[in-house]
Amino acid sequence: MFSVHNTYDAQHETEALVVGIFNQNHRLDGIIGELNEKLQDQIMELIREGDIGVKHNQISKIHTFQQVGAKRLFFVGLGKKDVLTLDRLRESLGHLFKSIKASKLEKITVAIDTFCADYISAQDVAYAVGETLPLSTYQFADYKKKSNEPEKHIEAVSVITEDDQAETLASLKVGYVYGQATNSARTLVNLPGNMLTATDLANYAVDLAKKYNFDYEILEKEEMEKLGMGAFLAVNKGSTEPPKMIVLKYQGKDEWTDVIGLVGKGITFDTGGYSLKPKDGIVGMKTDMGGAAAVLGAMEVIGELRPDQNVIAVIPSTDNMISGDAFKPDDVITAMNGKTIEVLNTDAEGRLALADAVTYAKHHGANYLVDVATLTGGVIVALGTDTTGAMTNNEALYEQLLEASHEAGETVWQLPITERDKKRVRNSQVADLNNSPGREGHAIMAGTFIGEFTDGTPWVHLDIAGTATVSSPHALGPAGATGVMVRTLASFVEVFEMNEK
């Protein structure tokens, strides 16, 4: 897939040569200057005439008429050099790869050094190329009747750089792992609920475990009953599909200590139960397992890169359906840790499933917890659809998660948990907790409820209800699932490992 060279001459068979071009008074140097000279000053002329754009996200293509090795030249407008960031670079590369895909090219060469800026090294560019390629060209294999004509994809990417070739190749491959794992999560979220049951999700996790030599455990309903997982099992009561508590264990250290617990909500379809969602709100509820997909995507990265860290992944998976056996408002249920819960809203089911999953992660030795869930519409009201909401009981742990989110380019914003919030979720005349204190501060109430099951273990909650999907195509992918938090979680493990050392 990837190869690295230090001269362009080695790439005479490429279908396209890609260069980055800054808006800097049209000075042409380096490889762009050489190309301009070979093309008899035509590049400079096309820039002056505006046929080659230098503004951010402008993609221009010219044919070389065999005057240089590449058949085509792609110019990626980067804007002003002093404002280029990794996020802006990803966006530009996303537009580039979409354009190349539309041109049905299979072999390309990227001049890495032409994208470098003050705060963007050759290694940063290589990583971004590897990561952005799969992200921007991802397409869900839908169920429409297909043409017999095979679709062309980018199959070989060569890069040229004056930087260390081995390090550049490593950066390309790591970025590609992150991008591919995010796409794996996207595919899981995009699958219809009838094609991704809890059993299907468990089978996927087992295949992942076997591929990467993880230890794994799939708890069945009878085992959960013996363990007293009444909160999670209540959500499953209306379903004909058996629930699964999915556990993957990766041991990157000699001793099972300093264990990070990643907990992902795996509700494969959410009707809302007897607190039934309206007809418009129920469409799209196949995506309510976005947290589980994020955790599984992060475990894919971990399996590929093998960090020196211990990680336990726990995913409670079921659908939330209506039947004569389904749980109801006013029911009182008992969670695995012995706390009783008054059910005021059966559509607040994700926090019930996560309550037992968090307890079970601790049972497996998790010393730090991060849960991810498409949990509340309230977080969308608060933060919109571009920002993931976060809550925590440990600022130091949150700061590490925040650093990872910056690296991944996934925006996270912290919401508070106050003593008054805790009193609201503890306000019940018949139980220790209630699962839905009301609409005010809805996202905060959900996170606060989950926090009641951490018992002081350092914990971060991520509500991805607004960021798990998008309604229209964007530079890094199509409409549909985003795979959000895969890269943040995987990067978090890396950041945590570095800080521990």
Q: What is the 3-state secondary structure (H, E, C) of 15-40?
A: CEEEEEECCCCCCCCHHHHHHHHHCC
Q: Are residues 190 and 309 in the same domain?
A: yes
What digits encode the pLDDT tens for the residues 316-331?
Answer: 999 999 999 999 999 9
164 is in an annotated binding site: no
Q: Could you give the CA distance from residue 86 to residue 373 in angstroms, rounded to a whole number?
A: 27
Given a cut of 70, is residue 334 above it in pLDDT? yes
The reply to whether 270 sits in an annotated binding site is yes
Percentage of the residues of the chain whose pLDDT score is greater than 90: 87
pLDDT grade, residue 221 (50/70/90)? very high
pLDDT of 467-479, one tens digit each?
999 999 999 999 9
Nearest to 388 by CA among 286, 313, 463: 463
Q: Both tokens of residue 76?
A: 């990626």
b/e per residue, 334-368, with b = 16+ CB within 10 A?
bbbbebebbbbbbbbbbbbbbbbbbbbbbbbebbb
- Residue numbers of the domain that contains 225: 182-500
Considering the domain architecture, whether residues 349 and 431 belong to the same structural domain is answered as yes
Q: Tell which residue, 366, 499, 344, 372, has the closest CA to residue 436.
A: 344
When pLDDT is cut at 50, 70 and 90, the band that residue 64 belongs to is confident
Say which CATH number the domain at 43 has: 3.40.220.10
- With bands split at pLDDT 50, 70 and 90, how would you rate the model's confidence at 11? very low
In this predicted structure, what is the pLDDT of residue 277?
96
Q: Is residue 175 part of a domain?
A: no
Q: What is the pLDDT of residue 281?
A: 93
- Which pTM value belongs to this model? 0.96
Lowest mean pLDDT among 152-166, 343-357, 366-380: 152-166
| The CA-based dihedral angle spanning residues 286, 288, 290, 296, taken in that order and rounded to the nearest 10 degrees | -90
Q: Average pLDDT of 272-276? A: 97
How much is the pLDDT for 496? Answer: 87
Is 174 part of any domain? no
Q: Is 347 annotated as a binding residue?
A: yes
CATH code (residue 369): 3.40.630.10
124 belongs to an annotated ligand binding site? no
Nearest to 227 by CA among 119, 129, 334: 334
Helix (H, G, I), strand (E, B) or coil at 166: helix
Q: What pLDDT was estimated at residue 144?
A: 85
Question: Does one domain contain both 247 and 379?
Answer: yes
Instruction: Tell me the C-alpha to C-alpha distance, in Å, between residue 17 and each of 48, 75, 172, 292.
Output: 21, 9, 17, 39
Q: Would 165 be classed as within a structural domain?
A: no
**Phi first, then psi: what are they for 117, rounded to 5°?**
-140, -175
Distances (CA, A) of 409 to 24, 179, 307, 405: 26, 12, 21, 6
Is the pLDDT at 501 greater than 70? The verdict is: no
Query: Are both 360 and 461 inside the same structural domain?
Result: yes
Q: What was the pLDDT predicted at 141?
A: 86
497, pLDDT greater than 80: no
CB 467 within 8 A of CB 182: no
Please give the tally of structural domains in the chain. Answer: 2
Are 496 and 370 members of one domain?
yes
- Judge if 133 and 281 occupy the same domain: no
**What is the C-alpha separation between 489 and 161, in angstroms, rounded?**
30
How far is the C-alpha of 481 from the C-alpha of 141, rounded, in Å? 13
What is the reported pLDDT for 314? 98
Q: Are residues 107 and 208 in the same domain?
A: no
Residue 151 has pLDDT above 90, yes or no: no
CA proximity to 90, closest of 129, 147, 53: 129
Q: What distance lies between CA 286 and its chain's CA centroid?
A: 17
130 and 193 co-located in one domain: no
pLDDT of residue 147: 65
The rounded mean pLDDT for the chain is 94
What tokens were used for 501?
A: 């050392």
Confidence of residue 417 (pLDDT cuts 50, 70, 90): very high
Helix, strand or coil, per DSSP, at residue 163: coil
284 within a domain of the structure (yes/no): yes
Query: If we measure between CA atoms, which residue out of 217, 205, 311 comes closest to residue 266?
Result: 205
- For the residues 224-246, what does the mean pLDDT come to? 98
87 is in an annotated binding site: no
Cα Rg for the chain, rounded, in angstroms?
25
Q: What is the per-residue pLDDT for 385?
A: 97
Residue 454 in this model has a pLDDT that exceeds 80: yes
**What Å distances lie between residue 284 and 321, 372, 374, 385, CA to CA?**
15, 18, 12, 15
- The token duo for 454 is 């951490």
Are 324 and 228 part of one and the same domain?
yes
Residue 139 burial (CB count, 10 A): 13
Tell whether 129 and 197 lie within a shared domain: no
Q: Among 136, 466, 489, which Cα is nearest to 297's?
A: 489
Whether the predicted pLDDT of 282 surpasses 80: yes
pLDDT at 158 over 70: yes
In the numeric block, the tokens 């509340």 are attached to 376
Residue of 83, 82, 64 whose CA lies nearest to 73: 64
Residue 65 lies in a domain: yes
Q: Residue 170: inside a domain, yes or no?
A: no
Q: Are 228 and 311 in contact (CB under 8 A)?
A: no
Provide the pLDDT for residue 27.
72
The catalytic residues are: 277, 351
What is the CB-side half-sphere exposure of residue 57 using CA atoms within 13 A?
9
Task: Return the structure tokens found at 126.
Answer: 């290589």
Same domain, 206 and 134: no
Residue 230, pLDDT above cutoff 80 = yes
- Does 173 fall in a domain? no
Task: Answer whether 124's CB lies under 8 Å from 31's CB.
Answer: no
Q: Are both 108 and 220 inside the same structural domain?
A: no
In a domain, 168, yes or no: no
pLDDT at 498: 52
Q: What span, in angstroms and rounded, lies between the C-alpha atoms of 389 and 443?
A: 8
The 8-class DSSP code of residue 229 comes to -
- pLDDT digits 0-9 by tens, 81-126: 999 999 999 999 999 999 999 999 999 999 999 999 988 999 999 9
For 238-257, the pLDDT digits (tens) are: 999 999 999 999 999 999 99
